[in-house]
Chains A and B, each alone.
Chain A
Amino acid sequence: MGLKSDLVTALFFARKDTGKNLRVFALIILAIAFATANIIIINGFMDGFSNSLVDATLDISSGHINIYPKENDRYVEGLGIKELKLDGMENVAAYSSRLYSSGTLSYNGKTKTIKIVALDPEKEHGVTKILEKIEEGGELTKENEILISYRLAEDLRARAGEEATLVFENGVSKTYRIKGIIRIGATDLDENGVIMYMNEANNALGLSGKASIIMIKLSKRELAEEYRDFLKKELGVSKVKVWSEEIEAITGFMNTVKKMTDTVIAVGLFAAAVSVGVIIYVNVIYRRRQIGIMKAVGMKSSLIFTVYLMEALLLAGVGVAAGDALGYIGTKYLETRPFYCPIIKEYISAKFYTYLLYDASIVSTAAVVVAGMYPALIASRTNIIKAIWGT
């Protein structure tokens, strides 16, 4: 009895047995297929959600590399020289300096505390999409113009085109025209954010060439880690963060959500695997006499184990293939039908990656095969005499 003839015989019997009851077979396939598709679609959706969240964060408040002031400093010094060096640097696609400050904004007898984000609109466009989030009015074109967040506009009952008084943290007070109202999708800025020109804020605060952050966009974000030390050296800065560090909170949140979805997936997979195991087990019990005959004729216990394991493998093969197809179609469908997420103010869609097929296939097949092991073991241990004579 060679290995080849053993496997041929095992496959022959497994095929015959699984094909015996097509309805049961179809039900098992469905259970495996849905469990597999579930893995692909949920993970595809989570990947899409995660990517959208990361992209949205990078689009609003971070470059691929961000330069911060030195320890105990409030501002990045020597902004002009640093920007000059960045202008000629390879793989630096764009950069934008921002100055963060605070103050109050008064309109029509009402006053609110504000967070000031001062920037150069032209440079900011190269790095983030924050200035594309205007709901009402238009973009900044003059130094005496500001953009205010939609919540601030609601609180002050201010509209685009009207004038409001801004008091900076140093007590300087100036009147600005509200050019537009923005809805960014970042909670803090949407609460009380005011966007204005960088030079105007520097002047009002009595500063010159100061920034709170320099956000740098590279030709590829994957280069960020590689460029960190290079930029530290070239620009003489010490506190540099890459984009992946900036989104650590999001990554942590996504990991938590992933654990929850993994639990849901595991429960679905467990249910499918148990149903396969139970059906094979019932089949083994029902076929006890036949298994006894198999052994009496000369089938080794190990080969009987292989028959039932192969049966699980056959079911897994067909079920997983169907699940892969179903998962692919489902994920692609969700890819083309994004839905709006009010938290990040972005449309989120699932995203299909080939690795999802591999992962789902491996996990589902392994679960079904493990589920098939117990009944296969029971079958292989069948006592010939008891099985044939039913004692």
Chain B
Amino acid sequence: MKIIETRNLKKTYTLGKVEVNALNGVNASVEEGEFVAIMGPSGSGKSTFLNMVGMLDVPTSGKIYLNSTEITKMDEHKRVEYRLRNIGFVFQFFNLFIELTALENVMFPMMLSGHPFYKERAVELLEIVGLKARINHLPSELSGGEQQRVTIARALANQPKLLLTDEPTANLDTRTAKEIMELFIRLNKEQRQTIIVVTHNPELGAQADRIIHFRDGRVVEE
């Protein structure tokens, strides 16, 4: 079953007087439980595609279906609600809330969704990512790899249908990057978590079920 499908997706940005076509008619799909890597040179539209699929931005034209529901026409309120319950994000720069502990960071999306046992579930998630002993630590007290694990735990908080990650290993050393890659693989294999990862890292790409190559705002190879 297709969890994500885009049809003729276009995104045009205006930079001063210049119009930039970041996405130029992208048709792509991802099956449920699939681990897909998106690769391509800088400026090829990978991150823009991820933003569209993750409902962080709206396309100029075209359609996006998430779990057979068209998400492009949703109003802001519905988009936020839908994003909260269906999509988890892992960003390149960890992006944890600096004043919150690891536990509180993971609790946050569940507090928003009104999860009745958000604390217990947060502990459980931190255990899954191997950070049970560090739950009361602030991000400043964690290593880069540990921070990224917290981000992954937070992304999984509301059991999203889709986990989107943008360069998740870019700021990590080789050993930590490998650990994070293994964590993604484990989540995909053991929990059938659908993962789309934007990466320049060929090793991470090689671990994916499928690679979608972008160039000049188009899918050039699958």
Q: A293-B91, A293-B95 are in contact. List 11 more A-B contacts (CB 8 A).
A: A5-B111, A5-B113, A5-B114, A8-B111, A16-B104, A17-B99, A296-B91, A298-B80, A299-B112, A301-B76, A384-B56
Is B95 a contact partner of A298 (Cβ separation < 8 A)?
no
CB neighbours (8 Å) of A16 from chain B are 97, 99-100, 104
Kindly list chain B residues whose C-beta atoms are within 8 Å of the C-beta of A388: 56, 91, 95
Q: Is A123 an interface residue (CB 8 A)?
A: no
Task: Count residues of chain A with CB under 8 A from any CB of chain B.
Answer: 28
Q: Digit string of B110-141 for contact with A (CB within 8 Å is 1, else 0)?
A: 01111000000000000000000000000000
Q: Are A290 and B98 in contact (CB under 8 A)?
A: yes
On chain B, the residues within 8 Å of A20 by CB distance are 99
Instruction: List the A residue with the shortest CB-CB distance to B57.
Output: A385
CA of A294 to CA of B80, assembled, Å: 11
- Of listed A4, A294, A297, residue having the most chain B CB within 10 A: A297
Judged by a CB distance under 8 angstroms, whether A210 is at the interface is: no
In the complex, the answer to whether B56 meets A298 with C-beta atoms within 8 Å is no
How long is the Cα–Cα vector from A295 to B79 in the complex, in angstroms?
Answer: 11
How many cross-chain pairs have Cβ atoms below 8 Å apart between A and B?
70
The answer, among A8, A301, A384, for a CB contact under 8 Å with B57, is A384
Cross-chain contact B56 with A297 (CB below 8 angstroms): no
A111 contacts partner chain B, Cβ-Cβ < 8 Å: no
User: Which of B51, B83, B98, B104 sits near A298, CB closer than 8 Å?
Assistant: B83
30 CB < 8 A contacts A-B: A1-B114, A4-B114, A5-B111, A5-B112, A5-B114, A9-B111, A9-B112, A12-B111, A16-B99, A16-B100, A290-B95, A290-B97, A293-B95, A296-B89, A297-B84, A297-B89, A297-B109, A297-B154, A298-B80, A298-B81, A298-B84, A300-B77, A300-B80, A301-B76, A301-B80, A303-B112, A384-B57, A385-B51, A385-B57, A388-B56
Q: Is B108 an interface residue (CB 8 A)?
A: yes
> In the complex, A300→B54 CA distance in Å?
15
Partner of A295, one of B80, B100, B111, B158: B80
- Which chain A residue shows the least CB distance to B107? A12
Q: How far is the CB of B40 from the nearest CB of chain A, in Å?
A: 17
Q: Could you tell me which A residues sit within 8 Å of B by CB distance?
A: 1-2, 4-6, 8-9, 12, 16-17, 19-20, 289-290, 293-301, 303, 384-385, 388-389
Could you tell me the distance between the alpha carbons of A388 and B57 in the complex, rounded to whole angstroms? 12
Complex interface: chain B residues within 8 A of A2 (CB): 114
Please, how many angstroms separate the alpha-carbon atoms of A9 and B97 in the complex?
14
Complex CA–CA separation, A296 to B54 (angstroms): 9
- Asked if residues B99 and A298 are in contact (CB atoms below 8 Å), the reply is no
A130 to chain B, nearest CB (A): 68
Query: Number of B interface residues, CB 8 Å?
Result: 28
Residue in A8, A12, A289, A299 whose beta carbon sits within 8 Å of that of B80 in the complex: A299
Beta-carbon contact of B99 and A297 below 8 Å: no
Q: Which residues of B contact A389 (CB under 8 A)?
A: 47
Most A CB within 10 A of own CB, among B76, B83, B158: B83
Which residues of A are found within 8 Å of B104, using beta-carbon distances?
16
Residues of B within 8 A of A9 (CB): 108, 111-112
Q: Which residues of A contact B84 (CB under 8 A)?
A: 1, 297-298
Contact A297 to B112, CB < 8 A, known contacts A1-B84, A20-B99, A385-B51: yes
CA distance A194 to B91 in the complex (A): 92
Q: Name the residue on A nearest B48 (C-beta).
A: A385
Contacts of A303 in B (CB 8 A): 112
Nearest chain B CB to A284 CB, angstrom units: 14
Are A296 and B56 in touch, CB under 8 angstroms? yes
Q: How far is the CA of A301 from the CA of B84 in the complex (A)?
A: 13
Residue of A2, A295, A385 most packed against chain B (CB within 10 A) = A385
One digit per residue, 1 when the CB lies within 8 angstroms of any chain A CB and 0 when it does not, for chain B 74-96 equals 00110011011100010100010
**Bound-state Cα–Cα, A12 to B97, Å:** 13
For B114, what are the chain A residues with a Cβ–Cβ distance below 8 Å? 1-2, 4-5
**Which residues of chain A are within 8 angstroms of B108 by Cβ–Cβ distance?**
9, 297
Chain A residue at smallest Cβ distance from B154: A297
Tell me the complex Cα distance, A21–B102, Å.
19
> Which residues of chain B are near A293, meaning CB under 8 Å?
91, 95, 97
Q: How far apart sit A299 and B97, CA to CA, in the bound complex (Å)?
A: 13
In the bound complex, residues from chain B placing their C-beta under 8 Å from that of A6 are 112
In the complex, what distance in Å separates the CA atom of A389 from the CA atom of B92?
Answer: 10
Instruction: For B164, give the chain A residue with the smallest CB separation.
Output: A296
Measured between alpha carbons, how far is A297 from B84 in the docked complex, in Å? Answer: 6
> Which residues from chain A contact B47 at a C-beta distance below 8 Å?
389
* A385 with B56, Cβ < 8 A, contacts A1-B81, A299-B80 known: yes
Q: State the CA gap A294–B112 with chains docked (Å).
A: 10
Q: Smallest distance from the beta carbon of B144 to chain A beta carbons, Å?
A: 17
